[in-house]
Homo-oligomer: A and B are copies of this chain.
């Protein structure tokens, strides 16, 4: 079916930056209260293996955000050729350190390291990324509560709720099934009583299924894959894609775009996140919020 353009954009643009700022400001004010009450501040430790420049950039962004709200942060850097035992040793020291409330292993790890083993060594009570199997299982099972939910997935739901979207009973399509977004967000949407279909590379009728959905969350990694004619009128779209596309007009040679063709989708959807400036900033603020929650729990501060 060809895309039918209507006149001009109609969707509400979900402003991730301003929502992130609100969350940060709330986190900062709660941290001040906690400091007043118990004399302690939250601590986040990031384990960073190797020299990937993108990982170093992400970690710096997280550190900066911690600093802005009053979370003390530290980075433990390991060489790209370190052993699994060295990583275990570092993580288990952080698990024991009472001043550290969040332990985060920056992904991806060098290929010789077993990601599953390493992520499962993090104490689930300090697993602010929510990637420990125990936390993911607790998220999956009705009536159980994980210590932490992966930040990007939690942010998707937060954006829906802040945009006034009722999730219960809605048809939701999740495109992609990563542990960062697709998997946990499909579990979260189910917790909120949406009817969830998960679409992926093996799906035959992805466009048709997506057109049935009132809520669409994408995390594919293919720029502009979701066109306007994939959407039904009035759908709400959360775009978790962050794809670098070559762009000779930019100083750094690329621009960042989502999985959704924004120009088309904005004319069909009722609300949509832009990329950049949508989910990304909220995800980082959610990491701060998770770290604060962990510290509050550790100090019995409610």
User: CA A43 – CA B158 in complex, angstroms?
Assistant: 47
Q: A137-B133, A143-B116, A183-B141 are in contact. Are A197 and B200 (CB under 8 A)?
A: no
A133 touches B142 (CB 8 A): no
Q: A132-B137, A137-B137, A204-B171 are in contact. Are A199 and B195 (CB under 8 A)?
A: yes
- Could you list 23 examples of A-B contacts with CB < 8 Å? A115-B143, A116-B144, A133-B133, A133-B134, A133-B138, A133-B141, A133-B144, A134-B137, A135-B137, A136-B141, A137-B140, A140-B183, A140-B187, A168-B202, A169-B203, A169-B204, A171-B205, A177-B190, A190-B200, A193-B202, A195-B202, A195-B203, A197-B198
User: CA A116 – CA B146 in complex, angstroms?
Assistant: 11
Instruction: Check if A179 is an interface residue, CB within 8 A of chain B.
Output: yes
Give the chain B neighbours of A132 by CB distance below 8 A.
137
Give the chain B neighbours of A168 by CB distance below 8 A.
202
How far apart are A78's CB and chain B's nearest CB, in angstroms? Answer: 22
Closest residue of chain B to A195 (Cβ to Cβ) is: B203
Copies in the complex: 2
User: CA A276 – CA B135 in complex, angstroms?
Assistant: 36
Instruction: Check if A209 is an interface residue, CB within 8 A of chain B.
Output: yes
Instruction: Check if A196 is an interface residue, CB within 8 A of chain B.
Output: yes
Q: A142-B177, A196-B197 are in contact. Are A202 and B137 (CB under 8 A)?
A: no
Closest residue of chain B to A145 (Cβ to Cβ) is: B116
B183 touches A195 (CB 8 A): no
Excluding A193-B202, A195-B200, 11 further A-B contacts by CB distance (< 8 Å) are A115-B143, A116-B143, A133-B138, A135-B137, A136-B136, A136-B137, A136-B141, A141-B183, A169-B204, A194-B202, A196-B197
How far apart are A209's CB and chain B's nearest CB, in angstroms? Answer: 7
